[in-house]
Amino acid sequence: MAVHSKFRRFFYNRLATVGLFIVLVVLVVSAAAPILPLTDPNQTVLTNRLLPPGSEGHPLGADELGRDMLSRLIWGTRVSLAVGLSATAIAALVGSLIGIFAAFYGGWLDNTLMRGIDMLMAFPYMLLALAIVAVLGAGLFNALVAISVVNIPFFARNVRGATVGLVRLEYVDAARLSGKSDMEVLFGELLPNVLPVIFITISTTVGWMILETAGLSFLGLGAQPPTADLGSMLGEGRKSILVAPHVATLPGLVILVLVIGINLLGDGLRDVLDPYLRSGALVSPRPATEVDTDLRRRLRSGDAVEPGTEVSPDGPGGNDGGGNDGGTVPLSVRELRTWFWQRSGRTSSAVRATDGVSFQVPRGAALGIMGESGSGKSVTALSVLGLVPTPPGRIMDGSIRFNGEELIGAPIERLRHYRGNRIAYIFQNPMTSLNPLITVGEQIAESVRHHQGVSRAAARERAQELMDKVQIPNAAARVDSYPHELSGGMRQRVGIAVALANDPDVIIADEPTTALDVTIQAQILKLLDDLRRSEGVSLVFISHDFGVISELCDRVVVMYAGQVVESGTVDEIYRHPLHPYTRRLMACVPRLGDRARALTAIPGLPPALDDLPTGCRFADRCDVVTDACREAPVELRGHGAREARCILVEETSA
């Protein structure tokens, strides 16, 4: 199945198919050279000297000795291909073995082998090839040896790099614990995973090696008459370039087309084989999340979701007056749908990361958004200022209002005006979300400068103040530190200082303590709690941990499979969860000092977000599910000051 889909992906890549076609044609024609009706490539007919292309019997003309160009080109391609491919095979075999053994055994073997490789790489590439040919003498076989040797380092380095990464993986340890010997681990576990890297390296070097062998022949150091490859034909044709340019032009063109074919094919193979490329790692996100064109149009015509019109008119969110309420509700999200469009072949399908999310953040309040991975909590947070990466993300529906102003579809300048200024973010991993090459002080100061237009010196002073405020010891000195010089907890304090830089109205914190140890988490939570109260800022706090949310937040929104399933105050939800998911989630978290309690796990898995059921999304894992649950989408309905998305709530609660 996997193989099948790889083929499909390959053929959807039109350029790769073109490459494959070129390579196949060249391979077939040069393999068939002996049976094709060609004149002897070495037959010299002096009367045909430098015959131009299109001449009778010689469609591509003849060279300075009157030999048929077409025949010579086909036979020459045969030689060039054979030499290039053999050189690749030798370099790949030797280099890969060196790389894999060096990585696997490490220590002195690794050191010795890789220092040797470094030595080879200390020479400019061609120079070493020339030196080897100088020793062995001019000749096709010697050129092959030279090109192989100079390419060994590429394979050795790439394969070693890939293997070193794999050797550290736990499945290698696991294989040892299964009783496998070194050789079994090396060839049974590692090699299959290294093979793609070897193929990728081949695909990038084979074209190059054909060019290089042709080059040596061109210089007169490769193929010697009467043997001719494309390079030596080109070299000989150069003498008559003035009178008969086709003699030199044609072999070069054949090389060009052949190598283009190989490179296109190689690129296609790489796309298929490289998990890194496949994961979409090489797609750059745009400055702001794309908004669906249909939604844009509706927003312009005032047709889009109006706050409070679609969901639960009697719910607590229902009486939000939208724009006019901006005074008390700075941030209001309604029916937000941010989907990820994934492509497989020619069809694309939507992963409904958030699918109708609504909540409000009153001024000065702290709202928790709780959910497991894939619940859509982070996507919700990032959607607010268009930070969901596009591609693949696209906002399909909904409304996000900040102090009454619609943010979805707002011009990028407006979003930039709010970003880091009125609404600021704190991200999960303080190591990766700070730029490693810029001092932490500058990372705070640049935001101050941009939004407040103050001088460098003033911004730097402000940065230091902020670092004091987030209780970074010795801020005056730490202003010039780089992120890697700080501990995890300190880095997250810097992240908080960045968020506070322009006294924002709302701070959105996306799992800011998840990457930290508990004692450091306790420090950061305390700091956040103190700051939000002293600065009067509204906080949206995203977490998978109800305990953490309890410490900080007044209200909490529980998300499951892209939807809000329940909202209410932290106390209410803790004491009396309405939705079966919330109830069961609480029951399956182990608690300190509650040893006797049995954990009742929720069976099964959340539904796939690109293949959602019609009815309740929790139905398959629910212990009180009824037939009615699966029939139609379940709405989020108000229950007093709370909301729940369950048709059974009346019966099970109250």
Rounded to a whole number of angstroms, the minimum distance from the CB of residue 174 to another protein is: 5
Q: Does 126 bind another protein (CB under 8 A)?
A: yes
How many helices (H) does the chain have, and how many strands (E)?
A: 25, 13
Q: Which of residues 582-611 bind another protein (CB under 8 A)?
A: 584-586, 588-595, 599-603, 605
* Per-residue binding letters, 158-177, with another protein (x by CB under 8 A): -----------xxx-xxxxx
Neighbours of 552 (CB within 10 A): 21
Minimum Å distance from CB 310 to another protein?
29
- Residue range at the interface with another protein (CB under 8 A); choices 327-335, 392-400, 540-548, 645-653: 540-548
Q: Binding to another protein by residue 89, rule CB under 8 A?
A: no
Q: How far is the CB of 476 from another protein (least distance, A)?
A: 11
Q: What does 247-305 look like in DSSP terms, one character per residue?
A: HHHHHHHHHHHHHHHHHHHHHHHHHHH-HHHHTTTT-PPPSS-EE-HHHHHHHHTT-SP
Q: Coil, strand or helix: which one is 563?
A: strand
The interface region with another protein, picked from 5-13, 332-340, 396-404, 524-532 by CB under 8 A, is: 524-532
Q: CB-wise, 583 or 637, nearer to another protein?
A: 583
Q: What is the nearest approach in angstroms of another protein to the Cβ of residue 543?
A: 9
| Residue 654 makes contact with another protein by CB under 8 A | no
Enter the DSSP assignment of 404. Answer: T
Q: Residues 458-487 vs another protein: string with x where CB under 8 A?
A: -------------x-xx-------x-x--x
Q: Is 417 in the site for another protein (CB under 8 A)?
A: yes
Q: Is 27 in the site for another protein (CB under 8 A)?
A: no
Q: Per CB under 8 A, does 260 bind another protein? A: yes
Sequential DSSP letters for 169-189: SHHHHHHHHTT--HHHIIIII
Residue 135 binds to another protein (criterion: CB under 8 A): yes
Beta-carbon neighbour count of residue 38 at 10 Å? 16
463 sits in the region (left: phi over 0; alpha: psi -120 to 50; else beta) called alpha
- Asked if 62 touches another protein (CB under 8 A), the answer is no
Map the footprint of another protein across residues 550-579, applying CB under 8 A: 550-552, 570-571, 574-575
Contact 2, 196 (CB under 8 A): no
Respond yes or no on whether the N-terminal peptide bond of residue 633 is cis (omega within 30° of 0): no
471 token code pair:
């209780």
Q: Is 9 in the site for another protein (CB under 8 A)?
A: no
In 3D space, the residue among 241, 216, 236 whose CA is nearest the CA of residue 226 turns out to be 236
Least CB distance to another protein at residue 632 (A): 25
Whole-angstrom distance, CA of residue 308 vs CA of residue 319? 7
Q: How far is the CB of 583 from another protein (least distance, A)?
A: 12
Q: What is the DSSP string of 22-40?
A: HHHHHHHHHHTGGGS----
Size of the site for another protein (CB under 8 A): 144
- Residue 418, interface with another protein (CB under 8 A)? yes
With beta carbons less than 8 A apart as the criterion, state whether 357 and 339 touch.
no
Give me the least distance between CB of 45 and another protein, in Å please.
25
| E strand or H helix that includes residue 402 | strand 393-402
Alpha-carbon distance of 189 to 175, in angstroms, equals 8
Q: Does 131 bind another protein (CB under 8 A)?
A: yes
Is residue 118 part of the contact set for another protein (CB under 8 A)? yes
Asked if omega into 226 is within 30° of 0 (cis), the reply is yes
Query: Restricting to residues 434-463, which ones interact with another protein according to CB under 8 A?
Result: 434-438, 443, 446-447, 450-451
Q: Does 411 bind another protein (CB under 8 A)?
A: no
Identity of the residue numbered 80: S
Residues 280-299 contacting another protein, CB under 8 A: 281-285, 287
| Spatial distance between the Cα atoms of 158 and 100, rounded to a whole number of angstroms | 10
For residues 205-234, which are near another protein according to CB under 8 A? 207-208, 211, 214-215, 218-221, 231, 234
Q: Which stretch binds another protein (CB under 8 A): 106-114, 123-131, 307-315, 338-346?
A: 123-131
- The region of 5-13, 246-254, 311-319, 462-470 touching another protein under the rule CB under 8 A is 246-254
Query: Which of 296, 363, 544, 630 touches another protein (CB under 8 A)?
Result: 544
Classify burial at 408, counting beta carbons within 10 Å of its beta carbon; exposed 0-12, middle 13-18, buried 19 or more. Answer: buried
